[in-house]
Amino acid sequence: MVMLEVKDIYKSYGKVPILKGVSFTMKKEQTKVIIGPSGTGKSTLLRCINQLSPPDKGHVWLNGEEITNPKTNINKFREKIGFVFQDFNLFNHLTALRNVSIGLEKVKKIEKEEAQKRAMQELTRVGLKAQATQYPAQLSGGQKQRVGIARALAMDPDVILFDEPTSALDPELIGDVLDVMKSLCGKVAMLVVTHEMGFARNVADEIIFMEGGVIVEQGAPKEMFTNAKMARTKEFLGRIGALYGEEETGG
Amino acid sequence: MALETLIESLPSLFDGLTVTLLLTAFGIILGTILGIVLATGRSYAARPLAYLILIYEKVLRGIPLLVLFFLIYFGLPQIGINFDAFTAAVLGLGLRSSAYQAQIYRGAINSIPEGQIHAAFSLGMNKLKAIRHVIIPQMLRLSIPGWSNEFTILLKDTSLAFGIGVIELMRQGRYIQVRDPDLVLIVFLLIAIIYFVLVFTANKTLRYIEKKYQMAGYQAEAHR
């Protein structure tokens, strides 16, 4: 069953067109990875989905209900759509635990004690039980991002959008975050914009290759990596593969 | 004898001090609440409202406090709005302070990364919740140094309420001076010391609060 449907999304910033008609669908608990060169509109696409920057044209449905309908209460939908940011965007004045529980307390109106219990479970799930009382500034980048993931998970979303979740991290910290994301596979739908080809190849159910504001090609990772139909996809994957090294694709 | 007069006058100075503290308290409360509303309105409200707030700030920061006092206390009765001197002084102090405080808060809001409000929206918070639970708590912490400054300015400026006849510390000093002109130096020295001690204590207390509520990792470290 289709959980998320994105249809014919257009978005410009000023006169510069960023997205020129993007459509795709996602099933429940599916993992999709969006790859493509910088400036192609991958992040913009994610922000169009949860309406952080509403599209100029096009529609988005979540479980059959239209998000892009102007009459809809967007906040209700955003509860169901987790978002993990490239630069974490943790709340600086709150501990790791409160970062995770605040959505439960203030949006879901769950009692503070209950919310924090739930938050602690999510922190444990991402391996940060011991860091619960620390503030964002006291955490490493990788830890911050895992708090970010726990914060999204706590809301019990239908889908989590990841906007280059490892791009701001030191290489040795990327693994921890990717491991957490792998562990979520098949438990919650994930739409991931990333340059981590190893993750795309091994974890994704499907890969979407975007360039110039459109989807050039999409398909299963195996197909895309070994037998891409479009020349441009081949070229991009070839270049990226050479850059990041083939050994990553093994694990 | 002069000393006796001075000692006899002390209770009246104490009364004046009480009024000064009340002016300060009401003024700063009004200024703070209104200042927060103005600053968040200026940053997040729709255009026409944000623009009106801008005008309000510019006007109130552009006129001397004593003129504001006179406008409220002597001017407004002409159009049928009457306040007693104390209320007029609180209004003048509070309204002017709100304009200055709005600037302090706006500066703090601008230094909060925009991603914080995106993250709040992504959790399903509406604008009001995001402002209340994410922006304002950070804004207040970042504003403490500026607010301390504003607090001490307001405390000292309560003495201008003298001009519209509020019987605060200054006015009580003036009464003693009229009764016994020989005491003028000692009385106003005494009053100066009282103001100084108040400001000094306030600064110390606020510095303590600033440290206590500092966001971990956000304290500027001294590099000497």
pLDDT at A248 over 60: no
Please give the pLDDT value at position A171. 87
Amino acid symbol at B42: R
- Compute the distance between CA of residue A155 and CA of residue A157 in angstroms, rounded to an integer: 6
Please give the pLDDT value at position A251. 38
Please give the pLDDT value at position B224. 66
Taking phi over 0 as left and psi of -120 to 50 as alpha, with beta for the rest, B7 belongs to alpha
Please give the pLDDT value at position A1. 81
Please give the pLDDT value at position B218. 66
Mean pLDDT of A138-151: 96
Lowest mean pLDDT, pick from A7-11, A70-74, B4-8, B205-209 = B4-8
Cβ A89–B116 below 8 Å, yes or no?
yes
Lowest mean pLDDT, pick from A90-99, A242-251, B40-49 = A242-251
At B126, give phi and psi (nearest 5°).
Answer: -80, 175
Nearest CA in chain A to B118: A52
In a mutational test of the B interface, the residue from A73, A93, A102, A140 whose CB has the highest number of chain B CBs within 10 Å is A93
- Compute the distance between CA of residue B177 and CA of residue B187 in angstroms, rounded to an integer: 8
Cβ within 8 Å of residue A114, ≥6 positions away = A104
Q: For B126-142, what is each residue's pLDDT tens digit?
A: 999 999 999 999 999 99
Residue B184 near residue B177 (C-beta atoms within 8 A): yes
Q: For A77-116, what is each residue's pLDDT tens digit?
A: 999 999 999 999 999 999 999 999 999 999 999 999 999 9
Cβ within 8 Å of residue B51, ≥6 positions away = none
**Interchain CB contact of B218 with A (< 8 Å):** yes
Cβ within 8 Å of residue A164, ≥6 positions away = A43, A86, A193, A194, A195
Please give the pLDDT value at position A240. 78
Nearest CA in chain B to A162: B122
**Interchain CB contact of A38 with B (< 8 Å):** no
Q: In chain B, which ranges are E strands?
A: none
What is the DSSP-derived secondary structure letter of residue A53? S
pLDDT at B71 over 50: yes
pLDDT at B52 over 90: yes
**Angle in degrees, 0-180, between the axes of helices A96-106 and A112-125, rounded to the nearest 10:** 130
pLDDT at B105 over 90: yes
Cβ-nearest to B124 among A89, A103, A134: A103
Amino acid symbol at A76: K
Q: For A16-33, what is each residue's pLDDT tens digit?
A: 999 999 999 999 999 999
Neighbours of B40 (CB within 10 A): 22
**Interchain CB contact of A89 with B (< 8 Å):** yes
Nearest CA in chain B to A100: B123
Nearest-CA distance B99 → chain A (Å)? 26
Please give the pLDDT value at position B94. 98
Q: For B112-127, what is each residue's pLDDT tens digit?
A: 999 999 999 999 999 9
Cβ within 8 Å of residue A100, ≥6 positions away = A119, A122, A123, A147, A150, A151, A154
- Compute the distance between CA of residue B36 and CA of residue B51 in angstroms, rounded to an integer: 16
A159-163, strands of its sheet edge to edge: A81-84, A159-163, A189-193, A31-35, A206-211, A214-219
Please give the pLDDT value at position B219. 62
Please give the pLDDT value at position A172. 87
In a mutational test of the A interface, the residue from B111, B116, B122 whose CB has the highest number of chain A CBs within 10 Å is B122
**Interchain CB contact of B7 with A (< 8 Å):** no
pLDDT at B223 over 80: no
Mean pLDDT of chain A: 93
Rounded percentage of chain B residues whose pLDDT exceeds 90: 86
Cβ B122–A50 below 8 Å, yes or no?
yes
For chain A, helix, strand, coil in percent to 5 are: 40, 25, 35
Q: And the tokens for B61? A: 């920061």
Element holding A16 (H helix, E strand): strand A16-27
**Interchain CB contact of A53 with B (< 8 Å):** no
At A195, give phi and psi (nearest 5°).
Answer: -105, 5
ipTM score: 0.92
Residue A204 near residue A181 (C-beta atoms within 8 A): no
**Interchain CB contact of A137 with B (< 8 Å):** yes
pLDDT at A246 over 60: no
Mean pLDDT of chain B: 93
- Secondary structure (3-state) at B114: coil
What is the DSSP-derived secondary structure letter of residue B79? G
Integer angstrom CA distances of residue B115 from A8, A41, B124: 27, 18, 14
In a mutational test of the B interface, the residue from A51, A91, A109 whose CB has the highest number of chain B CBs within 10 Å is A91
- Compute the distance between CA of residue A147 and CA of residue A100 in angstroms, rounded to an integer: 7
Mean pLDDT of B101-118: 95
Mean pLDDT of B207-213: 89
pLDDT at A245 over 70: no
At A65, give phi and psi (nearest 5°).
Answer: -105, 135
Please give the pLDDT value at position A66. 95
- Compute the distance between CA of residue A135 and CA of residue A90 in angstroms, rounded to an integer: 9
Q: Is the pTM of this model over 0.90?
A: no
HEC letters along A205-219: CEEEEEECCEEEEEE
